[in-house]
């Protein structure tokens, strides 16, 4: 659906990368490798987003790094659209607000790293009724048409391996 509005797949990947996790920073060659795209196609889209002031750049050594401009007037709106596209808004509405003793929820895996994926991976902290949770997850999967993979832990995670993004907190 969003592909009709954002026709450049590279631009969509960049928006996912930077708007899902505003703390992400990356450089041209790293993005080209990550997206399996040519450096030229990534450079063109980075320049467009930087000219629109959606991305900011800064130098670190000999690398030009990019990050999202959280002060952009449309940042919150674009981030909401990206979250809706990924399905996070539905997960929060249909699952997280209904399951009781939930302390925190982290988005992990590819989507937390700003990559497009058919799977949404969640780490949930709290004392939860996992049977009821499974029922809610099954219903949410039907609505968003993506697989939801979740892990429940009773205490704070000691170390979350890989990219992660806190999406909910009690």
pLDDT per residue as tens digits for the range 103-129 = 888 888 888 777 778 899 998 888 888
**pLDDT value at 43 more than 90:** yes
Cβ–Cβ under 8 Å, residues 46 and 68: no
**pLDDT value at 59 more than 90:** yes
Pairing mode, if any, of strands 164-169 and 147-153? Answer: unpaired
Task: Give residue 91's pLDDT.
Answer: 76
Helices 9-20 and 39-51 pack at an angle, to 10 degrees, of 60
Considering only 14-18, 32-36, 88-92, which range has the smallest mean pLDDT? 88-92
Dist. CA 47–CA 10, nearest whole Å? 12
The residue among 83, 26, 20 whose CA lies nearest residue 56 is 26
User: Tokens at residue 122, please?
Assistant: 């969640």
Task: Give residue 111's pLDDT.
Answer: 82
Q: What is the arithmetic mean of pLDDT over 73-77?
A: 94
Percent of the chain predicted with pLDDT > 70:
93
Task: Give residue 3's pLDDT.
Answer: 62
CA distances from 167 to 67, 91, 92, 132 (A): 19, 10, 8, 21
- Cα end-to-end distance, the chain, whole Å: 32
Phi, psi of 25 (to 5 degrees): -130, 150
Q: How far from the centroid of its chain's Cα atoms is residue 103's Cα?
A: 20
Q: What is the arithmetic mean of pLDDT over 33-57?
A: 93
Task: Give residue 106's pLDDT.
Answer: 85
Q: Is 17 or 28 the better-scoring residue by pLDDT?
A: 28
Task: Give residue 132's pLDDT.
Answer: 87
Q: State the virtual CA torsion across 27, 5, 109, 57 in degrees, nearest 10.
A: 20
What is the rounded average pLDDT for all residues in the chain?
Answer: 85
Dist. CA 28–CA 22, nearest whole Å? 17
The residue among 169, 160, 34 whose CA lies nearest residue 109 is 160
- The secondary structure of residue 145, as a DSSP letter, is T
Domains of the chain: 2-68 (1.10.10.10), 87-169 (3.30.460)
Q: Is 132 or 160 the better-scoring residue by pLDDT?
A: 132
Q: What is the arithmetic mean of pLDDT over 49-66?
A: 95
């Amino acid at each position: 659906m969003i592909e009709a509005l954002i026709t450049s797949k590279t631009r969509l990947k960049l928006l996912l990368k930077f708007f899902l996790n505003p703390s992400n920073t990356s450089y041209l060659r790293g993005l080209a490798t990550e997206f399996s795209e040519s450096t030229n196609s990534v450079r063109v889209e980075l320049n467009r987003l930087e000219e629109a002031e959606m991305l900011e750049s800064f130098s670190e050594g000999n690398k030009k790094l990019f990050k999202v401009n959280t002060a952009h007037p449309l940042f919150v709106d674009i981030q909401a659209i990206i979250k809706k596209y990924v399905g996070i808004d539905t997960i929060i509405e249909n699952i997280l607000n209904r399951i009781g003793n939930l302390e925190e929820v982290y988005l992990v895996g590819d989507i937390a790293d700003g990559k497009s994926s058919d799977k949404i991976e969640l780490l949930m902290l709290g004392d939860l009724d996992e049977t009821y949770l499974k029922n809610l997850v099954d219903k949410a999967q039907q609505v968003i048409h993506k697989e939801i993979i979740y892990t429940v832990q009773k205490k704070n995670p000691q170390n979350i391996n890989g990219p992660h993004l806190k999406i909910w907190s009690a």
